[in-house]
Structure 1
């Protein structure tokens, strides 16, 4: 699953490279907490404070992190690998296409993986940008197919899923953004793309072709950057949550033209 944010956009000692130690810890906790609601976090902090009070000591960051981890069931070994490769696929392609920063990755949610990515606002709204977005969104599925020769339902199943968002973008490219292969100047919005696609098989074929092309582009990028892709997936499997600095260190090591 991909969370997004816009972006107007490591030591002679460990602290100098990564910044203020408190900032490092806060980034780690924020990455760990991806996928939790505000109510979840409030409850975890209350429980951590109660635990510290019973121990007659001050609350620590470790108490909060332990509370976050304890809020989630352990992810089975095989599923953890699938989550790691899926999210690494998104991150590698996002970075390769220079869409923006990768703020964090998390496979410790018990409900699938999460990645938080930003976008350079100066690069948005062109045809290339939308095609890059489709490629990034389909990259998790491409990663699963490359590594396991079969895909899970993790890319779909919900209105905010990778497939749902990619389908909406491809639909809008055909109907509202002026990039369609048929009547591109017509503005034809609709609140329910699924209903339109069910009634218009030719449109559905064009939208699907865009998604297939994006899937192939994502797979090509991951093959070209296989060492980086594998290294990031392994690091994410081990750590289960990685902040921006940890992700960037691996991605930057494998930089080459997309």
Structure 2
């Protein structure tokens, strides 16, 4: 399952390898730890400290990274490529639409890929912004279809999945945000879109049309930025976890003129 998050993750400081700043090391650790709970991180740091104490030395970055990696099973080769393309698709479209910074990507969780992104507050709440959000959320699925020709269930299946979040946004655009194609001035909230779709099939058609259009827009962006998309997916496949600096180095190199 792919989860897009907009909160930062921090780690307990470790001894810093020569030539690296504390900030750089913490970003690398935070990216590597995406998908772990606070309890997981606390346990990993505790075990790393114990290991260092037994060795009569200070705790190091490598101790914590080894603890994180040891907490996860290896990802099969083909699945690792699928997750890499999926998360690279999200990142490329997020950047292309100027939604905000891409803080990090991770396919080393054993439970799917994760992306850590931020959003420019000045651009939120307009119709364009919501359509951009739909496009970004559908970009992982578009990436799989574009490269692998087969789509997995990775974009759906849970209430916090890409499809669930995109469906909720499209539903709200139609019923509560004033952007609907039918009776846009009516505020008609509901806790469960699925229940409403059973009673209002025409609404279901309109919501699905929004998602379908967003999927097409994402595919167009990925085709236009194909070289950047493939470069980022390859780098993510190799590294398995990339912080903001590594991601932006590839995305910025692939920026297209207006």
TM normalised by structure 2 equals 0.93
**Quick one: distance in 2 between partners of 1:233 and 1:82?**
9
Tell me what 1:108 maps to. Answer: 108
CA positional deviation for 1:207: 0.2
Unaligned runs of 5+ in 2: 9-18
In 2, are the aligned partners of 1:167 and 1:207 still within 8 Å (CA)? yes
Tell me what 2:175 maps to. Answer: 175
CA positional deviation for 1:5: 2.6
Tell me what 1:12 maps to. Answer: none
Which secondary structure state, in structure 2, belongs to the residue aligned with residue 187 of structure 1?
coil
State the 4+ residue runs in structure 1 displaced beyond 4 angstroms. none
Tell me what 1:247 maps to. Answer: 247
Question: Per the alignment, do residues 254 and 184 of structure 1 end up closer, same or farther by CA in structure 2, a change over 3 Å counting?
Answer: same
Tell me what 1:13 maps to. Answer: none
Tell me what 1:192 maps to. Answer: 192
In 1, are the aligned partners of 2:7 and 2:116 still within 8 Å (CA)? no
1:56 matches 2:48: no
TM normalised by structure 1 equals 0.93
1:2 matches 2:7: no
**Quick one: distance in 1 between partners of 2:155 and 2:245?**
26
Q: CA RMSD in A?
A: 1.4
**Quick one: distance in 1 between partners of 2:201 and 2:57?**
65
CA positional deviation for 1:257: 4.8
Q: After the TM superposition, which of the residue ranges 46-55 and 117-126 deviates more from structure 2?
A: 46-55
**Quick one: distance in 2 between partners of 1:71 and 1:199?**
46
**Quick one: distance in 2 between partners of 1:21 and 1:3?**
27
Q: Deviations over 1:197-228 (max 9, x none)?
A: 12211000000000000000000000000000
Tell me what 1:207 maps to. Answer: 207
Q: How many residues align?
A: 247
Unaligned runs of 5+ in 1: 8-18
Tell me what 2:139 maps to. Answer: 139
